[in-house]
Structure 1
Amino acid sequence: MKLLDYFKLGWDQLKRRVVVTLLCTMGIAIGSASIVVAISFGESLHQYSQKQMSKLLMSDEIIVTGGGRAEGADPNDPNSAKPYELTKAKIGMMRTFPHIKALATYRTLNQFEFEVDSKKGYIDEIFATELDTLPAFGHELQQGGPSEQENTIILSYGATMGLFDSQLSKTRQQQLQSTSEREARNAWQEQQYIAYPVYQKQIVLKPRIFRSNDVGETVDIQIPVRVVGILKKPEGFTDDMLMRQKTAYVSPALGKRLQEAIVQMNGGKVKEGKNSSQTADYNKVQIKVDSSAHVKEVESLLKKLKLTTSTNLQREESMQNQLFTVRLIFGGAGVFILLVASISIIVAMTMSTYQRKRQIGIMKVLGANLGQIRNMFMVESALLGLLGGLVGILVSYWVIWGISIAIMHFNPPGPGPQENILFISPWILPVGLFFAIMTGVLSGIYPAIKASRTDALTAIKRD
């Protein structure tokens, strides 16, 4: 008999026993759908967690600083730290490393006040960096963008909130006299949460210094700059949290000028403390790698330059190990359901052998051998697995679609383009179909062997 003949015989038998075929098909469909959904859950969680960890943990970024001194070196010897310094030559070498998506140098300057339109605000930290690299490191702009002009600044959204206005302060004092203190406080707090429009306006920066009594003082050093960009308002943050995020970004050239002003303000000496400054043009380098999988490779190259590196890769690996356990649990549940479904096939095919004893006996009398009888039952079981697998794939799409709708219903989408959290990768479908067919084949082995051992004469006489 040819393979096509086996398929024809098997298909005819499945059509004759419609109820049994439907029950076995549904059992395998549920099992294969469970496999597909379980693997899809694991794959979706894996990719979603990777994206979220890349955003929150920044696992694809490396912070590079100077390596300090060699072990046992004299701390009073300035030359002992030179091989471990962060220099321009080393940064030039970093730019040639493979898998580097973006690189930015950073100098951190603390505590500035600024004035705009007779209002006063303050900035906790100013970062001097290459402004065109901000989007690469996840800093989205709500207004404007980097400029080639030197005296420009990009403010965070929080830096535009809570600006002090002397006229507004007088109005508040009047409100305290005419209304209750609680109402006046609430009105003042609401005004503090309003972002002041400073985009494309000129502001005047004033450094603050801290004396030994930790009292902040401003000095008569004024540096006018133009606001060329405002960072996008972060999602999921309360107004109180945004009020504390008062940062800004300037070019390295302007950062150097601000640093010189601070040094001059301190009498030409670098002062240790809250406003400690660095004599170098930068105190760290931030690197964006094209994938977190290449972070270790880039990190090993950086350590050869005798530099200190810092990443969140270990935290990501720990979380990925936990997610891998979840994926195993999902997959194990699907396999268990499929094994339960295989029992229905064994029972159905075994019953079929008893019902078809006469047919088997006649086939043997006509010359069918044991192998042909076994193959007939095996192909029939494989067809059951194929049907169940195809139905299972359809069911799995419905399940994923339904769960996705439920997630969107209970978790309203935010602004901007949305992406599906749950999805079925193309490679999962053949896996689910393979498990379904293998379940059918393995479940048909025992009935096939039992059918092939049926005595022809006894079967014909009994029927």
Structure 2
Amino acid sequence: MKIGDLTELATQNLREAILRNSLTTLGIAVGVASLVAMLSLGVGLQQLINRRLERNGLFDTVLVRPRTSFNATGQIRRNRDFGADRTSDRTDDRNQSDARRDPPDSDLISKPLDQDSRHQLAQLPHVLEVYPEFRFTGDFRFGSAGHLTQVTSLPTSASTVDGLEGMQGHFFSAPDSHEVILQADVAADLADSQHLRPADMLGKDLVLRYAGREPLPAPSANSRARDRASPDDAAFGFSIISSRISLRVVGIVDAETIASGANAFGRSGAYVPLVVAEELGVVQGNDMGEVVRESALGANGQHYTNLTVRVERPADVPAVEESVRQMGYAPFSLLDLTRNLRRLFAILDLLLGIFGSLALAVASLGIINTLVMAILERRREIGILKALGASDKDVRQLFFAEAGVMGLVGGLAGVVLGWGIGRLIQLGTNYYLRQQQIPAENIWTVPVWLVALAIVFSLVVSLAAGLYPATRAARLNPVEALRYE
């Protein structure tokens, strides 16, 4: 039997019992709609998180830290044995034991991050910029009022991050401008002291008081000779001095976090340009540990706890990470964590798909019931078709075609219905977010592959449900079918 004849007969038979067949098709549409609505929600949430991470520069940055695993402790210990007169047999035995444990050419000694390291990282292929992050405690003075808060540096590339959306004012006018962006609560606190509104702080000059570093003078040659515990290349430390700088308020933000790169998480009360923070020479919370590191490793000059490397595109991150490892540093990127995140979303999509498919499974029972009833009602018709020369295959294909038409129509209607449900969820969510003074988000999306998957899945389930009725109809004896009243 030709495909055209099968389609014509199938649609004609479905129109004869239009109410029953329409309800069956509607059941398929509801099942497909639930599947589309749930999967579109999962896909939308995944895309929302990916957009946020990409906009904050978290997919195209690599955080570089010194290796803190001192597996080559024997080598470090040998570097600190500065005089033969201080070397004991016990120390030699310990060093030899460590040397046997570590490879002869071990590169696991923790290398400090300094200006040379920053320059070398900037020369790597596909690297756009390399910058440190400064976090320190500062006291902002405005008239007689003051506010103690954490201050964080921001690079120029942070001007497009999520946390700065809706900012009053503007971003820093120049990389080295003496300007500051305040959190809304800090601006409100300073403004209240002068009976001003928070927005009135824009353009005002503040004095930032902070703890600065002043390098200690190098010891004389005589004192160094007396103290053999200090190697020639070791750092001489620093003293802490009270410092201040005048900054102009150019922006006010109200955000829990301002993320710019793999290391810029957390909330700060104020943000200053990176270049300005470098010039201040501020004391950070981890500086004491860095002094110990410098003394152990022989580093000197400007050093960093970590550096953020921004690459051209996320696909370049693995190659840059490998180059960083070869340089002797420990790289980390958000792509390492998003692998687990993608696995989690895959499991979530699977669970949503299973729950959405339950309604379609129930609808498949309706298809079986409808077609079985059609067989009982059309026994004489089946007998006449066989008497006229229709084979078992032709009868089987006819009932398969009816099941396929119901599945196809139900799948198309289900996609439209699922799109409508998702749209209502989106509108309801955005209405609730606006009521809570939160910007609207797109948490729902229906990609093309989901539409195609839903229609094909509906068609396959319908054909599977029609297998038993079609086989039963094909096995009818034409003589007994013609006798049926």
Q: Please classify the TM superposition score into its range, dividing by the shorter chain length.
A: 0.7 to 0.9
1:73 alignment partner in structure 2 = 75
Q: Does structure 2 conserve the Cα–Cα contact (< 8 Å) formed by 1:66 and 1:308? A: yes
Q: Does structure 2 conserve the Cα–Cα contact (< 8 Å) formed by 1:28 and 1:388? A: yes
| Identity in percent | 21
2:459 alignment partner in structure 1 = 437
Residues 222, 209 of structure 1: alpha-carbon distance in 2 compared, 3 angstrom cutoff: closer
Residues 222, 340 of structure 1: alpha-carbon distance in 2 compared, 3 angstrom cutoff: closer
Counterparts of 1:13-412 in structure 2, within 5 Å, are: 13-51=13-51, 58=58, 61-67=61-67, 71=72, 72-74=74-76, 77=79, 84-88=111-115, 90-95=117-122, 103-106=129-132, 108=134, 110-117=136-143, 119-125=145-151, 127=153, 131-136=155-160, 138=162, 140=164, 141-148=167-174, 150=176, 152-157=178-183, 158-163=185-190, 195=198, 197-208=200-211, 221-223=243-245, 225-227=246-248, 229-234=250-255, 245-252=268-275, 254-259=276-281, 272=288, 279-280=301-302, 282-288=304-310, 295-311=317-333, 316-412=338-434
Q: Which runs of 5+ in 2 are unaligned?
A: 83-106, 214-239, 259-266, 295-299
Letter in 2 for 1:357: R
Q: Does structure 1 conserve the Cα–Cα contact (< 8 Å) formed by 2:179 and 2:272? A: yes
Q: Does structure 2 conserve the Cα–Cα contact (< 8 Å) formed by 1:35 and 1:432? A: yes
Q: Does structure 2 conserve the Cα–Cα contact (< 8 Å) formed by 1:256 and 1:281? A: no
CA distance in 2: counterparts of 1:137 and 1:281, whole angstroms? 27
State the secondary structure of the residue aligned to 2:113.
Answer: coil
Using the TM superposition, give the Cα deviation of residue 138 of structure 1 relative to its aligned residue in structure 2, in angstroms: 4.5
Residues 290, 5 of structure 1: alpha-carbon distance in 2 compared, 3 angstrom cutoff: farther
Q: Does structure 2 conserve the Cα–Cα contact (< 8 Å) formed by 1:302 and 1:309? A: yes
State the secondary structure of the residue aligned to 1:134.
Answer: helix
RMSD: 4.2
CA distance in 1: counterparts of 2:289 and 2:453, whole angstroms? 61
TM-score (ref. length: structure 1):
0.74
CA distance in 1: counterparts of 2:464 and 2:483, whole angstroms? 31
Q: Does structure 2 conserve the Cα–Cα contact (< 8 Å) formed by 1:105 and 1:282? A: no
CA distance in 2: counterparts of 1:329 and 1:317, whole angstroms? 19
CA distance in 1: counterparts of 2:67 and 2:252, whole angstroms? 32
State the secondary structure of the residue aligned to 1:84.
Answer: coil
CA distance in 1: counterparts of 2:55 and 2:174, whole angstroms? 28
Residues 115, 434 of structure 1: alpha-carbon distance in 2 compared, 3 angstrom cutoff: same
Q: Does structure 2 conserve the Cα–Cα contact (< 8 Å) formed by 1:104 and 1:287? A: yes
Letter in 1 for 2:471: I
Q: Which runs of 5+ in 1 are unaligned?
A: 169-190, 211-217, 238-243, 264-269
Residues 207, 448 of structure 1: alpha-carbon distance in 2 compared, 3 angstrom cutoff: closer
Residues 123-143 of structure 1 deviation map (CA, whole Å, 9 limit, x = unaligned): 54353x6x4122255452532
Q: Does structure 1 conserve the Cα–Cα contact (< 8 Å) formed by 2:290 and 2:305? A: no
1:180 alignment partner in structure 2 = none
Q: Does structure 2 conserve the Cα–Cα contact (< 8 Å) formed by 1:103 and 1:133? A: no
Q: Does structure 1 conserve the Cα–Cα contact (< 8 Å) formed by 2:191 and 2:197? A: no
Note if 1:424 corresponds to 2:449: no
Using the TM superposition, give the Cα deviation of residue 86 of structure 1 relative to its aligned residue in structure 2, in angstroms: 2.4
CA distance in 2: counterparts of 1:367 and 1:346, whole angstroms? 26
CA distance in 1: counterparts of 2:191 and 2:290, whole angstroms? 23
Using the TM superposition, give the Cα deviation of residue 109 of structure 1 relative to its aligned residue in structure 2, in angstroms: 6.1
TM-score (ref. length: structure 2):
0.71
Using the TM superposition, give the Cα deviation of residue 305 of structure 1 relative to its aligned residue in structure 2, in angstroms: 1.9
CA distance in 1: counterparts of 2:61 and 2:120, whole angstroms? 17
Residues 405, 258 of structure 1: alpha-carbon distance in 2 compared, 3 angstrom cutoff: closer
